[in-house]
Amino acid sequence: MTADGRPEPDRALYTISVAAELAGISPQALRLYEQRGLLSPARTGGGTRLYSDNDIARLRRISSLAEEGVNLAGISRILDLQEENTRLRSSGAEEG
């Protein structure tokens, strides 16, 4: 738990139906995004997908880009570049 009593953003808590509802997409779209490598949910020992708050935020970003007309390959590239940019900024802040 965080200091304000909320779960850690990386903690996998939500089943596919709950995650889809929170992200405003269908479970089928969520599965497609996973098949295309746009996100990788945690899995229980029995194979059930579990999604974190960070996964929900990523799903919302994917959905927003898709609504803007970006195809899945483009979404993948945009997300990769955003992650690289974040990583570079954090490593630059550590050096400076």
Residue 96 is predicted with a pLDDT of: 57
Residues 76 and 95: their CA atoms lie apart, in Å, by 29
Residue 65 is predicted with a pLDDT of: 97
> Residue 24: CB partners within 8 Å, gap ≥ 6?
60, 63
Contact 48, 9 (CB under 8 A): no
Residues 23 and 2: their CA atoms lie apart, in Å, by 22
Average pLDDT per block of 10 residues along the chain, 96 residues long: 73 95 96 95 94 96 96 96 93 71
Residue 92 is predicted with a pLDDT of: 77
Domains delineated in the chain: 16-95 (1.10.1660.10)
pTM of the model: 0.83
